[in-house]
Amino acid sequence: MAVYPGSIELPVTESLNLAPAGGWCRHPHKHRGSLFQDSVSTSRVRYFSPPAEISSHSPPSSPACLADCEKLPEKDGRRFRSDRVKFIEYTMFRFLNGTIVLPDRLLPDGEVVTLDDRIQHVGSADLRAPSGLAIIDLEGGYLLPGFVDLHVHGGSNADFMDCTEKAFRTVLAAHARHGTTSCTPTTTVARHDQHLQFLQIVRGLRNQHTGGAKVLGAHIYGPYFAAEARGCHPAGTVRPPTPADYEPYLAFASEIRNATVAPELPGAAEFVRACRARGVRCNAGHSHATFEQMEQAIGWGVTHVDHLFCAMSDRARLRQSQTYPMRAGVMEATLYFDELTTEVIADGQHLSAALLKLAYKVKGPDRLALVTDAMRALDMPDGEYIFGPLDGGESVRKVNNVGVTLDGKSLASGVTGMDHAVRTFLSATGAPLHEVVRMASLTPAKIAGVDAEIGSIASGKRADLLVTDSELNIRAVYIDGRKLIH
């Protein structure tokens, strides 16, 4: 049973039983309501909620049902009682003539039918289905679930840490063009007041229509980094977690999906426990922790590790402070512990094909997500940009399709979208397409705890869908069943 706006319950199996244009009434004996199709050329349909005295009929072919239908006055080819009947409009689409990418397989020549913001039907194409639904021709391409990005900073010359609603909407629209339909806006190291302003905007936009990707909640990523592992983040505001600093953040706990900390910092254990007590998931990142410290962090409640292979300790790094015995670090712990999920920046610049293959083989598609880690230079020309807030951020450069520090010696965030990540990972690893897409959709949705609603093409889930060509280039983006217009 699927529940829709207006507290109307409509069984999924019944929802495709539409009326022909010109007026028709159906009173199913198992539930209240009827569907009216406005015309054979529209995707708009209306749900009919009848008066109580005619809502509990036997099947629609019965004389009693037909008699009651005749009692209703006709308007525009539809019979209804204007003072007793409620119409609610919905949008319906039927996606055909392509391959549906499911979590566990490809479905060639399949079809997907959506009703407003929900997926109603997934299966092989049915020639007997109603002809009046608006057809979306996949033209031999693919229908994918919308991508979910757990690590994203900016795009189109805006950064979430600019801390304005306009900047948020600009970034969300930019990433939607690359197939991201949901994301966790991600902070950078910044001042305390800037983080609070960021959280206020997340609160205002979460679960709202943004004109782009949906906001699932915040990712508090920085300021609690190891100073020597801060990467391109501003040095002046890196700090360890203290209750005085993080308790104001946790006042927004309902708006926060994930929070990152370097486990070796003083106060890290208390911070993780405070987050977990308020329902906030915890990551390890920008850390030079040892294997043993990572094991302890798992015990506190850390479940995820940010951008595998980047800004983290490994055997070679730790050997700089202790010659023998050689020790394992964050990288080795991430690969070893099945309890930990992780992510890779699959832009073709951060990591070689060999490292992507290693991550895929060891962690597998259910514990490895694709992320962009994109900054404001996404969809912008090469040149100098500010990473993080305009007030206090770090100057970096975009060159050769990646962000680098001004001296060119270190990486400084990504500049490509999720569609590029999917194509890059697929080409680099040779993994099955459905698994690569899962790593960009269902796996991150599970990590964020929202997989019951989004992340895969399945009946009852939100209609966040991508139409691509055969080369996985985005042709159309649907969020909550509505096509984005850019």
CA pair distance 414, 378, nearest whole angstrom: 8
- List all residues 6 or more positions away from 408 whose beta carbon is below 8 Å from its beta carbon: 397, 399
pLDDT, tens only, 105-126: 999 999 999 999 999 999 998 8
CA 333 to chain centre: 27
pLDDT band (50, 70, 90) for residue 129: low
Helices 268-277 and 243-250, axial angle in degrees (round to 10): 20
Phi, psi (rounded to 5 degrees) for 435? -75, -40
Which of residues 439 and 15 earns the better pLDDT score? Answer: 439
Q: Taking residues 341-368, what's their average pLDDT?
A: 98
> Which pTM does this prediction carry?
0.85
Paired residues of 91 in beta bridges: 44
Domain ranges of the chain: 1-143+479-486, 147-454
Strands 8-10 and 2-4: antiparallel
Instruction: Measure the CA–CA gap between 465 and 336, rounded to whole angstroms.
Output: 34
CA distances to 48, 100, 143, 164, 484 from 108, rounded to whole Å, are 35, 6, 10, 44, 25
Return the higher-pLDDT residue of 237 and 63.
Answer: 237
Q: Do residues 359 and 323 lie in contact, with contact meaning Cβ atoms separated by under 8 Å?
A: no
**The pLDDT of residue 54 is above 90:** no
Kindly tell me if the per-residue pLDDT of 58 is higher than 70: no
Question: How many CA atoms within 13 Å lie on the side-chain side of 450?
Answer: 25
**In the prediction, which pLDDT does 52 show?**
38
**Which one is predicted more confidently, 389 or 75?**
389
How do beta strands 86-96 and 134-137 pair? Answer: parallel
pLDDT at 90: 63
pLDDT, one tens digit per residue, over 17-50 is 333 333 333 333 333 333 433 333 344 544 433 3
Q: In the predicted model, is pLDDT for residue 482 greater than 50? A: yes
pLDDT 10s digits, 200-226: 999 999 989 999 999 999 999 989 999
85: pLDDT strictly greater than 90:
no
Q: What H or E segment, with its residue span, contains residue 202?
A: helix 192-205
Element holding 145 (H helix, E strand) = strand 142-145
Quick check: 2 pLDDT over 80?
no
Q: Report helix angle 353-363 to 418-429, nearest 10.
A: 90
Q: Are 256 and 218 in contact (CB under 8 A)?
A: yes
How far is it, in rounded angstroms, from Cα 221 to Cα 244?
A: 18
Q: Is the pLDDT of residue 86 over 70?
A: no
11 preceded by a cis bond (ω within 30 of 0): no
Report the chain's terminal Cα–Cα distance, integer Å: 34
309-348: pLDDT as tens digits: 999 999 999 999 999 999 999 999 999 999 999 999 999 9
One-character DSSP codes across 294-311: HHHHHHHTEEEESSTTSS
The answer to whether residue 371 scores a pLDDT higher than 60 is yes
Helices and strands (DSSP H and E) totals, the chain: 12, 30
Q: What is the pLDDT of residues 269-307, one digit of tens each?
A: 999 999 999 999 999 999 999 999 999 999 999 999 999
Tell me which CATH homologous superfamily contains domain 147-454: Metal-dependent hydrolases (3.20.20.140)
Beta strands in 17-141 (DSSP E): 34-37, 44-49, 74-75, 78-79, 86-96, 99-101, 106-108, 110-115, 118-124, 134-137
Determine the pLDDT at residue 79: 37
Cross-strand partners of 79? 74
Contacts for 141 with CB less than 8 Å, ≥ 6 apart: 98, 99, 467, 468, 469, 470, 475
Residues 6+ apart with CB under 8 A from 52: none
Do the Cβ atoms of 171 and 198 come closer than 8 Å?
no
